[in-house]
Amino acid sequence: VASREQWLEARLRLLTEEKNETRRRDALNTERRRLPMVRIEKEYVCEGPQGPAALAGMFGGNRQLIVHHIMFGPDWDAPCPACQNFIDELSDGLLAHLRDNETAFALVSRAPLAKIEAYRTRRGWTVPWYSSHGSDFNYDFQVSLDQSVPQLQYNYRPAPELLGGGRSSEMPGTSCFLRDGNEIFHTYSTYGRGNEYTPQPLLDARP
C-alpha cells in the first residue's frame, strides 16, 4: 500500500516502459513488413466442407490469408487443449473485421476432414477449417514433424527431439500469404510463443 503520490511516481515510471515497448513493437512490425516474399510454386490442395480447396480458394477474394496451424494429428481424437482455447476466442466479429481489412483467416490441421467437421460441429465453431491430410502443406510450413518425411525443423532450426519418441508430432504455428493476381506469396510464419493469441495483431505486420 502506498500514498497516491508514490503510486503516481511508480505509474509514470511504468508508463515510460510501456511507451518504449510500444515503439519497439512498431519498429518490429515495420521490419516484418520489409521481409521479402517467396512465390508459392507448389499446388497445395486441402479438403474443406465444400470439397477440395486449393490455397488460392482459401483467400475468398481477399488480398491476404492468415492460416493458423491447429495441432490435430490424423490419429488424434481432438485438437490440443491450447488450440481449443484459441478457437473458442475467435468470434464472427473478429473474422468480419479481418475481411474488412482484405484478410481471410482459416484453420488447417492434418487430421482427416471427417474428424475436423465432427469436432467443429460439436463445439459450434464457425471459422473455416481445412484438412491438409495427404498433402505436403504442414510439412513444408514446418508444423508437422515425421520420421518418414525429411523435414525435422521447427521455428527455423533442427528439432528432431520434438518427435518425443513417436513417429510424428504436430506443432503450433501461423503462416501468412499474399495474393497478387494469380500469384501467391508466402510472407511470414511464426511459431511457438505468441500463437495462442488472436490473429488481429498480424494485421500490423501485413505488406
pLDDT in tens, the chain (207 residues): 899 999 999 999 999 999 999 999 889 888 988 999 999 999 999 999 999 999 999 999 999 999 999 999 998 999 999 999 999 988 889 899 999 999 999 999 999 999 999 999 999 999 999 999 999 999 999 999 887 777 778 888 888 788 766 667 899 999 999 999 999 999 999 997 666 555 656 666 555
Residue 49 falls in which region: left (phi positive, over 0), alpha (psi -120 to 50) or beta:
alpha
State pTM to two decimals. Answer: 0.87
**How many CB atoms sit inside 10 A of residue 64's CB?**
21
The string over 162-179, giving b where at least 16 C-beta atoms fall within 10 Å of a residue's C-beta and e elsewhere, is: eeeeeebbbbbbbbbbbb
* Distance from C-alpha of 176 to C-alpha of 199, rounded to nearest angstrom: 10
Cβ neighbours of residue 4 closer than 8 Å, sequence gap 6 or more: none
| 74/100 Cα distance (integer angstroms) | 34
Instruction: Give the burial class of 9: count Cβ atoms within 10 A of its Cβ; 0-12 exposed, 13-18 middle, 19 or more buried.
Output: exposed
If 0-12 CB within 10 Å is exposed, 13-18 middle and 19+ buried, where does residue 102 land? middle
Q: Which of 60, 59, 69, 50 is nearest to 135 (CA)?
A: 69
Characterize the bridge pairing of strands 157-158 and 153-154.
antiparallel
Quick one: DSSP state of residue 51?
E
Task: State the cell numbers at 162.
Answer: 520434438
Please give the helix or strand (H or E) that residue 169 lies within, else none: strand 168-170
SS3 101: coil
Helix, strand or coil, per DSSP, at residue 127 = coil
How far apart CA 155 and CA 144 sit, in angstroms, is: 12
pLDDT for the residue numbered 202: 64
CA distance 203 to 207: 9
User: Which cell is 12 given?
Assistant: 509514470
Query: Which residue, 70, 72, 63, is CA-closest to 187?
Result: 63
